[in-house]
Structure 1
Amino acid sequence: MEEKSFFSGTAYLGMPFNEKFKQLVFEGIDRYGINFGASRNNNVTVDVFAQAEAEAAKRSHAEDSIIVSSGYLSAQLVIQHFLGKYKFIYAPDTHPALWVGQPQPPKISFREWTKQAINEVNSSDEPVLLITNSLNNLFPEIYEFDWLSKIEPRRKVCLLIDDSHGLGITGENGEGAYVRIPKLPNVETIIIASMAKAIGLDAGVILGTKKIINNLRTSPVYAGASPPSPGLLSAYVNAFGIYQEELEKLRANMKFFRSFIEDKKGLYYLKDFPVYLINDANAADYLASKGILISSFAYPDPTGKVLNRVVINSAHTKEEMRKVVEAIIEMKEQRTRIKDN
């Protein structure tokens, strides 16, 4: 049976099968055990939790951080903290982990939404929580936040950003979105992210000022939840060099792949993001027939349009990437011949 090439998922830095990282995980488990089944507010704890949070804050250039057991919990910890105190305004395509009930995020472009959000904030007499992604990983787009300066200085705003697909790979050293958000006196910025993507941990992180992080630590949601695996967090603390090495490989792979597709129509991508959208409804089936598995599903609405995307990671070889490019070119040539006939 022909071996399949896998170009899907979100393990952008290839951490699940990275031998150096796996060794750090094994060492961490030997030292701390597989899990720590107790509240983070327990009087008995282990030092690696504080070490990992200090490391996460340092790598992201934030004042402080909280690491919890999942990206979902990191989102809900913040949402529950502000619920009933702030007015929630959702941006397009926000992840369901950030929802309360069924908020119906607007089906408009991010740029259009920012104009609406500015007007809504400036006309509101209550504090506002703006909820958005740092980027769109489905139709690749990295969002800018300079529009925040148009919010009236007297308006109290908290900006909650989901950076799950940016943390570890965007920014100069993979620091993610926190460092590029404008620092304004009337805008409090909180970043949440799943660490199960580029970082390779079953955990979630919250980044912010010491004040907001300390407030979140008093939440019953935080107190009642078990922490992530201390063995995994030990690996994270000691893996900075591995992450940097894999980020360099990923960027080299993106440059290599991009050199073959720059003039190809029907492909949509960003220079610094490893997801390539193919505008062809049957692309996944065709590529699968060539032994190539790509990301192909409707999201977030399972009844919506299927999105076919090639996802590059740091572990892909040049041979594998050439195979994908050749198959895409062959597919497009075949489509053109059929159309012409």
Structure 2
Amino acid sequence: MTYSVDAFPGRTISVDGKSYLYFGGTSYLGLQTDAVFQDIYIKNLKNYGTNYGASRKANVQISVFEEAEKYLANLVGSESCITMSSGYLAGQLVARSLNSDVYELFYAPESHSAVHIPGMEPYQSFDDLSTAISSHFNKSKKVPVAFMDSILVLEGGYPHFAGLRRLPLEKIILVIDDSHGIGIVGENGCGAYERAKQLNAKEVIVCCSLGKGYGIQAGGIFGSKNRIEQFKNTDFFGGASPASPAAIATLLNGKKVFEEKRKLLNQNIQWFVKSLKNPELLNYLDNYPAFYFSNPKIASFLEKNDVLITNFNYPNEDSPLMSRIVLSAVHTREDITVLAELLNAL
């Protein structure tokens, strides 16, 4: 069922006058409704304006973009970084740039549509992916590029990337979509880049949305200096408007807020897991705020008890149902206790 609301969904939402606890969405740190974070954003809006519609290649350039990109590259441990106006655009820049006669593209299970080229479907398992890439080496000299999401419902992703370890990674370029990892996992929210680098692949490129972990409308791409320069020199990058400079500046100014919110989120995760009597109902990663399940009765039961979660066909109506419980930094211990007690009653 679809619900229409007229305000950003925080820890609670109101639908037709009825209040629900809300454990869905992707606002892991709850930044969008945080007063301190909003004040930082508003201050930057007054300085940079509400939008910047010029190319990053224009003869007048706003310096905050390069400043933020250096900060982000240092945070994740990459040589270089560029930002885009969205994570989807960042993923498409990477995918389209690599869709050439030099490379052969392969998609791991659960890879996001942001990095998909139309007509190319993800493999159903990492075994199938491994078989396809092994077969590729017997008939082609193209460099294989494996696309995958860092955070997976199935095993195989962050932090160990076990699904990739059977591949001859030294011959493969890895493209990791870290939209649900950056800002949340790793030291200081550094995301999956350093872990992926430890796989010793031929090359590692990470693309992501900055909206999930950092509450701003922007995307990022991380990689070697040479690769990032190649992306910068495309018509795709030069022809697109950048992210709002006010949003990018807020990324720089909000470091203390991010740190505080990650601590609160981690406390909420630990309390929830500790409170569950039947954790086998859910699939989840350690220290990660999303909890997945496939039993449709869970979502119905929670809704009847005034709790709404993420529960819809994603990314389109023909896709499987995505059902997940999402904790955020804005949830109170009482909220989480209510949720856990409902799940314990199943």
When the two structures are superposed, what TM-score results if normalisation uses the length of structure 2?
Answer: 0.88
Equivalent in the alignment of 2:40: 24
Runs of 4+, deviation exceeding 6 Å: none
> Does 2:92 match 1:76?
yes
Equivalent in the alignment of 1:230: 245
Aligned pairs for 1:1-341 (under 5 A) are: 1-84=17-100, 85-108=102-125, 110=126, 112-113=127-128, 115-116=130-131, 119-120=134-135, 122-123=137-138, 124-136=140-152, 138-139=153-154, 142-143=157-158, 144-145=160-161, 147=164, 151=168, 153=170, 155=171, 157-182=172-197, 187-261=202-276, 263-300=278-315, 302-330=317-345, 332=346
The question of whether the paired residues in 2 share the 8 Å contact of 1:5 and 1:293 is answered with yes
CA distance in 2, matches of 1:42, 1:159: 32
5+ unaligned residues in a row in structure 1: which ranges?
A: 333-341
Q: RCO (CA 8 Å, sep 6+): is it higher in 1 or 2?
A: 1
- RMSD after superposition: 2.1
Q: Which moves more between the two structures, 269-278 or 47-56?
A: 269-278
Report deviation, 1:328. Answer: 1.8
**Residue deviations 1:301-339 (CA, integer Å, cap 9, x gap):** 533443332100111100100111122223x1xxxxxxx
CA distance in 2, matches of 1:141, 1:295: 23
With over 3 angstroms needed to count, the CA separation of the structure-2 counterparts of 1:203 and 1:83, relative to structure 1, is same
**Residue deviations 1:164-208 (CA, integer Å, cap 9, x gap):** 111111112210011112357761111000111111111110011
With over 3 angstroms needed to count, the CA separation of the structure-2 counterparts of 1:184 and 1:164, relative to structure 1, is closer
**Residue deviations 1:1-52 (CA, integer Å, cap 9, x gap):** 5521110001111111111111110111111111111000001011111111
CA distance in 1, matches of 2:192, 2:299: 31
The question of whether the paired residues in 1 share the 8 Å contact of 2:169 and 2:202 is answered with no
Report deviation, 1:59. Answer: 1.3
Report deviation, 1:149. Answer: 8.2
5+ unaligned residues in a row in structure 2: which ranges?
A: 1-16
The question of whether the paired residues in 2 share the 8 Å contact of 1:92 and 1:113 is answered with no
Secondary structure of the structure 1 residue equivalent to 2:55: coil
When the two structures are superposed, what TM-score results if normalisation uses the length of structure 1?
Answer: 0.89
Q: Which moves more between the two structures, 236-245 or 277-286?
A: 277-286
CA distance in 2, matches of 1:170, 1:192: 15
Secondary structure of the structure 2 residue equivalent to 1:206: strand
Secondary structure of the structure 2 residue equivalent to 1:296: strand
CA distance in 1, matches of 2:156, 2:26: 16
CA distance in 2, matches of 1:4, 1:265: 25
